[in-house]
Structure 1
Amino acid sequence: MTEKRNRKRPAGSFADRLASDAVRLLEQASRLEPGGARGASEESASQQDGAGINARLITPASRLPI
């Protein structure tokens, strides 16, 4: 007999989680001294912008044909 997996739903929407990660990364970058680590953290925060990613996932026209 197969057992059901214990699945949890994420606390918020995908866009909300990406936005909170971006805020966290920007706060982390502000505490670092200017240089490579700070630049990498700021770049990572800018990539966490969920608007573009979320729009691509929701829009049916952007999905690849099977």
Structure 2
Amino acid sequence: MNGNSRSNIKPGIKVSVVQKQDQRTNKLTEGIVKDILTNSNNHPHGIKVRLTSGVVGRVKHVLPSE
């Protein structure tokens, strides 16, 4: 699943995000969603979230739970 739709993203799920400083290189960071920061239902660049580690980024992929 991609991260463009807010309905796909819930606190506690595992995702990969791209941070602001990594947008040019598209370097992904994996983590667990703590907060959803985007208010709109959809966003073309991905829903912005805060991970439990404190990292803020836009969701590129929703990862399967283990």
Q: When you count strand as a share of all residues, which structure comes out higher? A: 2
Taking structure 1 as the reference length, the TM-score comes to 0.17
